[in-house]
Chains A and B, each alone.
Chain A
């Protein structure tokens, strides 16, 4: 290495430190220190007003006997397992329909994308309350065909479903990603398949799906992580209670209740760490399993 390029490297290193001042500060103050602090708090009884008191594993033992904890785990898992695949299925289906030179693509794409843009807002959560309430839009519609519907939000069997519908409704953003992915599949591959006598279904199975697997995987990871952290909708629709009968008690809502309503910061930190570990495990599993089904061009 010449002295000149070493000089360059040093200079780059120094410059990098300046460029990275905000990031390093952010990593330290906003991420690393809070992460460790919450790990410590997870082993304490802490209400902010009095000093934290070390309680060892008590918070974690408390979870085992905490019905609400288990209810929130259940609700969140059902939500992730049902709404993410449904949402992605819709996204993929619509992307396939819209792909390949359909007229009015831009219009459809915008129309389907719009809900994604608004879906996480308080305004839409408010709208959902009125759609699925006792006197809501859905029941008014049912009344037209002679069915007397009960409040969808007050029935523990249907309350979560309304939120799943809300999440599926926002299929637009993964759809746009699918569309971009589809466009990258070279036409020659389809032509080659046609020459080999493959029909539409075979083309789909042997060309589209394999080449799209990285995109599906990407969407899956992104939407799963997002679904685990759903908060706004559950908070507004249930008025912050997670009711009826804990049926919309999302995990994050329970963390919020313990942390910022009951001010049980120690227990809430323990809950948050469990969530983080769970997300990490699920993501790692996704990556492990992806070896068996995600197709990257180079292997």
Chain B
């Protein structure tokens, strides 16, 4: 490279590159609003698998087609990566205008003042909701997040495989207990033609864990933002899984390639799965030849009244959104929850609609899988329910910690009581640091 070459490369590429960088609009933060004009660009961030990614991308495009002045920039990631990315963006104050809230983050974000209040945006209507509903939606008495779906803890089973292998999953009722489920899974794993196992190893699944706790009279979090369960309570859950695992009723970590396995990989290796009621919508599509059914989580003998609960996934508008973008953002939220149009594209992947009117409309076009899910949520919704509280500030990594400790237990590195104590201690320490 001679001098002229150097000049060319150094200055030429330098200038060109920086020019491209600036022109490409990568400079600065903000949602890219165009100031005075009517054109609005909004960032919309959500998580999921690739099916949900494609559906939402499509639905958001449809929204922009119907509202040409509003462009939506999609920001998608897998559940764990989504949370990591949000954390980094919060620190940099570069938060998307509209974002979903993962369950461990709800009050952490609230404490970081991420949520804009939602009851004064003219484009977002609340008329369809009952007063009681609105009360349960509030955090600290403020209506600043939008619950846009309902999940319940379920056991999902592969009906096609069950029939072929001559297995009956007990109906809900007195015969449907944790013990009977464990028996079924162990017996099935021992003897089936496809060499399947009963279930993936999933003691880190949060919703079924919470169901277990509530049936023991404990809870996940307390009202005053502390750990709501005891070392014994957690230990009993881990014990149930340890027994199941040792009896061969669950996949080994090797067979499922680690904690939190990919359903597309393990779906062909198991009979049932522990999950959220909504998971059936996208998961079933990965095995189109097979039929999946849901059972509510089993019930322990002597479970106290009101142990049932609903989980609401929430979304929010960023506190520091440009005022000029607020109405457009309200419109997007409205599109998410108050009309069935979007659901026709994204389907009920985020559970039963919270808006009762939309729920009625959805029932009309629901697929068989979706009807299955709606039915089970409706039943739980009708049951007596004691309140549940959201994850407090400082607990935002509790699910990763739990997965790690479950892994250590399965690998024989930690005994159940020690692991349970460690988890409770670690979560407590995190909450204390954040206080």
Which chain A residues have a beta carbon within 8 Å of chain B's beta carbons?
A: 45, 47-49, 67, 133-134, 150-151, 153-156, 239-241, 243-246, 260-264
Report the minimal beta-carbon distance from B173 to chain A, rounded to whole angstroms. 38
> Which residues in window 388-435 of B have CB below 8 A to A?
396-397, 400, 403-404, 407-408, 411, 413, 422, 430, 433-434
- The total of interchain contacts (Cβ-Cβ below 8 angstroms) comes to 63
Flag if B87 contacts A263 (CB, 8 Å): yes
Flag if B87 contacts A134 (CB, 8 Å): no
Flag if A260 contacts B258 (CB, 8 Å): no
Tell me the bound Cα distance from A123 to B413 in angstroms. Answer: 32
Please give, as numbers and ranges, the residues of chain B lying within 8 Å of A134 by CB-CB distance.
254-255, 257
Tell me the bound Cα distance from A261 to B87 in angstroms. Answer: 7
Tell me the bound Cα distance from A87 to B430 in angstroms. Answer: 40
Q: Is B90 an interface residue (CB 8 A)?
A: yes
Chain B interface size, under 10 / 10 to 19 / 20 to 34 / 35 or more: 20 to 34
Tell me the bound Cα distance from A156 to B252 in angstroms. Answer: 13
Q: Which residue of B lies closest to A151 (CB)?
A: B254
Flag if A154 contacts B87 (CB, 8 Å): no
Tell me the bound Cα distance from A155 to B255 in angstroms. Answer: 11
**A241-B404, A245-B407 as given contacts; A49 in contact with B259, CB under 8 Å:** no
Report the minimal beta-carbon distance from B113 to chain A, rounded to whole angstroms. 9
Q: Which residue of A lies closest to B429 (CB)?
A: A62
Q: Is B50 an interface residue (CB 8 A)?
A: no
Cβ-defined partner of B407 (8 Å) among A67, A151, A244, A262: A244
Q: Is B80 an interface residue (CB 8 A)?
A: yes
Cβ-defined partner of B258 (8 Å) among A45, A243, A262: A243
Tell me the bound Cα distance from A133 to B433 in angstroms. Answer: 38
Flag if B258 contacts A239 (CB, 8 Å): yes
Q: Apart from A49-B91, A260-B87, A263-B87, what 11 extra A-B contacts exist at CB < 8 Å?
A: A49-B112, A134-B257, A150-B252, A151-B255, A154-B254, A239-B80, A240-B80, A245-B404, A246-B404, A260-B84, A260-B88
Please give, as numbers and ranges, the residues of chain A lying within 8 Å of B80 by CB-CB distance.
239-240
Query: What are 6 pairs between A and B in contact, CB < 8 Å?
Result: A49-B90, A156-B411, A241-B403, A260-B87, A261-B87, A261-B400
Q: Is B77 an interface residue (CB 8 A)?
A: no
Report the minimal beta-carbon distance from B89 to chain A, rounded to whole angstroms. 11
Tell me the bound Cα distance from A239 to B258 in angstroms. Answer: 10
Report the minimal beta-carbon distance from A207 to chain B, rounded to whole angstroms. 39
Q: Which residue of A lies closest to B409 (CB)?
A: A245
Q: Is B253 an interface residue (CB 8 A)?
A: yes
**A260-B87, A261-B84, A262-B397 as given contacts; A243 in contact with B407, CB under 8 Å:** yes
> Which residues in window 258-298 of B have CB below 8 A to A?
258-259
Cβ-defined partner of A133 (8 Å) among B91, B257, B411: B257
Report the minimal beta-carbon distance from A186 to chain B, rounded to whole angstroms. 33
Flag if B254 contacts A155 (CB, 8 Å): yes
Flag if B411 contacts A244 (CB, 8 Å): yes
Please give, as numbers and ranges, the residues of chain A lying within 8 Å of B252 by CB-CB distance.
150
Report the minimal beta-carbon distance from A202 to chain B, rounded to whole angstroms. 46
Please give, as numbers and ranges, the residues of chain A lying within 8 Å of B430 by CB-CB distance.
262
Cβ-defined partner of B400 (8 Å) among A67, A241, A263: A241
Report the minimal beta-carbon distance from B88 to chain A, rounded to whole angstroms. 6
Tell me the bound Cα distance from A149 to B407 in angstroms. Answer: 20
Cβ-defined partner of B257 (8 Å) among A49, A154, A240, A260: A154
Q: Which residue of A lies closest to B112 (CB)?
A: A49
Flag if B404 contacts A154 (CB, 8 Å): no
Tell me the bound Cα distance from A67 to B396 in angstroms. Answer: 20
Report the minimal beta-carbon distance from A35 to chain B, rounded to whole angstroms. 20
**A150-B254, A154-B253, A243-B258 as given contacts; A261 in contact with B91, CB under 8 Å:** no
Please give, as numbers and ranges, the residues of chain B lying within 8 Å of A239 by CB-CB distance.
80, 258
Tell me the bound Cα distance from A244 to B414 in angstroms. Answer: 13
* Candidate in A48, A67, A154 with the most chain B CB atoms within 10 angstroms: A154
> Which residues in window 86-107 of B have CB below 8 A to A?
87-88, 90-91
Tell me the bound Cα distance from A245 to B112 in angstroms. Answer: 32
**A260-B84, A260-B87, A261-B397 as given contacts; A243 in contact with B404, CB under 8 Å:** yes
Smallest CB-CB A-B distances: 8 pairs:
A151-B254, A48-B91, A150-B254, A154-B254, A245-B411, A154-B253, A245-B413, A245-B408
1/0 per residue B110-142: CB within 8 Å of A?
001000000000000000000000000000000
Q: Which residue of A lies closest to B88 (CB)?
A: A260
Cβ-defined partner of B413 (8 Å) among A45, A156, A241, A263: A156
Flag if A45 contacts B404 (CB, 8 Å): no
Report the minimal beta-carbon distance from B177 to chain A, rounded to whole angstroms. 31
Please give, as numbers and ranges, the residues of chain A lying within 8 Å of B88 by CB-CB distance.
260
Q: Which residue of A lies closest to B434 (CB)?
A: A47
Tell me the bound Cα distance from A15 to B70 in angstroms. Answer: 55
Please give, as numbers and ranges, the residues of chain A lying within 8 Å of B258 by CB-CB distance.
153-154, 239, 241, 243-244
Please give, as numbers and ranges, the residues of chain B lying within 8 Å of A133 by CB-CB distance.
257
Q: Which residue of A lies closest to B397 (CB)?
A: A262
Report the minimal beta-carbon distance from A203 to chain B, rounded to whole angstroms. 42
* Candidate in B80, B252, B396, B433 with the most chain A CB atoms within 10 angstroms: B433
Please give, as numbers and ranges, the residues of chain A lying within 8 Å of B433 by CB-CB distance.
45, 264
Report the minimal beta-carbon distance from A29 to chain B, rounded to whole angstroms. 18
Please give, as numbers and ranges, the residues of chain A lying within 8 Å of B84 by CB-CB distance.
240, 260-261
Flag if B397 contacts A243 (CB, 8 Å): no
Q: Which residue of A lies closest to B396 (CB)?
A: A262
> Which residues in window 316-331 of B have CB below 8 A to A?
none
Tell me the bound Cα distance from A51 to B101 in angstroms. Answer: 24
Please give, as numbers and ranges, the residues of chain B lying within 8 Å of A243 by CB-CB distance.
258-259, 404, 407
